[in-house]
Amino acid sequence: MRYFLNIIVSLLNRPEKVTLPTLPPEIMQQILKYVQETSSLHSSLLVNRYWCQNVVPLLWNNPFKQLPKRNSHRLIRTYLLCLNKEENFLLDFNLKPYLNVMNLIPRRTLFEYPFFLNEISFKDLERVVSSTVLKWCDRETKQEHKPIMAQIVISILFQLFTRMSTNLRSIILNNDFDTPELVAFTNFNILLSQLRILKVLFTPLSQNIIQLLDIISSNCKDLRCLDFRLSPLNYTPELIQLISTIIKSQNYINEFTIANISNGSDPIFSSLHSHKKSLKSLKIIHAQLTEPSINIINQFNKLHTLCLCFCGGLSISIMKCNFPLLRNLHLSYLYYPSDITTKIIEKYGKSLNQIGFNFTDFEVITSNNNKILSLCPNITELSVSFYAKQATLDHDFVGTEMVKWHQKIDELYTLRKLNIFSLDNSKESYYY
């Protein structure tokens, strides 16, 4: 694989005309995934038809993510090309009071682009659509009409996705706007049955969202990853029950994250207990734990990754656990004494490959009298997370903190070569 990857990267970097290798599509796409991580694939589209056919699925599996603002209208325009007659009529009819959208939409596409969609973030979709609407509008368009127009376009796009996006596997509910009434769309239940990842991140829990979660509990059976990060006030008894129902309805869950839950988490962990044989990653952030919940966590002996950050109620009873497969551990203080962390690392440090702390833990971790990392002789990676409460940490601050971490770790552990990297989660803070 690396041999072919090196060949392709070198060919892409050579300006002269060359004959490129032809490989089976399955191999070609795997290689191109590696190329995508290190450079842009857009230039590869023009190599030849074969390359184009293999690059397009990668570029369009999540086209909204990190899309430059200047390209937003091109992406939306391409999707609108794929509308059928009914969807096109609805778009034109609903937008007609605001602009003549028919003049903006051609009628032909080279590929069925919605088919390649694998992940969709509502926030990214809202950002791209809103930028497109601004591009369409003139100076006479009333300011209050722009959000209405964006909602119309988003609703039509979801109608398109439910009809054509048969490869959609991940939905991230992280929007500030009210979600369309998705359950009314034809084939929406079929689309839900294909989902493998569901993330609900800091979104207003409107009636449409609640209805969507209720439908998910009935129609999604194969979710592998569940991630709930909401405001503490959102965790009403009704929502906790709904989350528990979603957990129980799954065949097996591999990854679970819960954040910002102050009270009433016991039903959620009780439901999660049924997945103790499949659960490999558990992340609990800014949560209030109880002894019953800790006792359940102790039974997840298949965990590879465990994150316990800013957890109230964490006690020494966590030491009753047995995590023989644990390789990645992330801990942060604030709500419990550092000696609990020390005891956890004393028990599992030898098996760890990666360990992580929050940037606020610098003084505790790097104290000359408390060389916690000495208890982890086999770790090769140290992650420093940047979680902030109601704040966005700027790039300069993160850079300054990382320099401080690098210098101190190198000073304390001169004979060890650790890959120290940052996880900047400040833009989607876990905390309220």
Choose the final residue of a domain: 36, 59, 82.
59
Residue 52's domain comprises: 18-59
Residue 174: phi and psi, rounded to 5, are -140, 30
Choose the final residue of a domain: 26, 44, 59.
59
**Confidence band for 429, pLDDT divided at 50, 70 and 90:** very low
pLDDT tens, position by position, 166-213: 999 999 998 877 777 776 777 788 888 899 999 999 888 888 888 889
In a domain? residue 248: no
What's the pLDDT score for residue 336? 65
User: How does the average pLDDT of the chain come out, rounded?
Assistant: 83
What's the pLDDT score for residue 13? 55
Indicate whether 12 pLDDT > 60: no
In a domain? residue 264: no
Most confident of 21-35, 257-271, 322-336, 337-351: 257-271
What's the pLDDT score for residue 8? 54
In a domain? residue 410: yes
User: Structural domain tally of the chain?
Assistant: 2
In a domain? residue 366: yes
Residue 6: phi and psi, rounded to 5, are -65, -40
What's the pLDDT score for residue 273? 95
Q: Largest Cα–Cα distance in the chain? A: 71
Q: How many other CB atoms are there within 10 angstroms of residue 229's CB atom?
A: 24
What's the pLDDT score for residue 430? 44
Choose the final residue of a domain: 31, 59, 87.
59
CA 72, 77, 83, 87 dihedral sign is: positive
Least-confidence region, from 144-148, 264-268, 272-276, 298-302: 144-148
In a domain? residue 396: yes
What's the pLDDT score for residue 33? 58
What's the pLDDT score for residue 229? 93
Interatomic CA distance for residues 412 and 401, integer angstroms: 17
More confident residue, 100 or 243: 243
DSSP state of 202: S
Indicate whether 37 pLDDT > 80: no
pLDDT tens, position by position, 346-380: 888 899 999 999 888 888 788 766 677 888 889 99
What's the pLDDT score for residue 23? 58
**Confidence band for 292, pLDDT divided at 50, 70 and 90:** very high
What's the pLDDT score for residue 390? 46
What value does the mean pLDDT take over residues 89-116?
81
Name the pTM for this structure: 0.85
**Confidence band for 55, pLDDT divided at 50, 70 and 90:** confident
Report percent pLDDT > 70 for the chain.
Answer: 81
Interatomic CA distance for residues 360 and 357, integer angstroms: 8
The runs of H, that is alpha helices, within 145-298 are 145-164, 188-193, 207-219, 237-249, 266-272, 291-297
What is the token pair recorded at 360? Answer: 């606020």
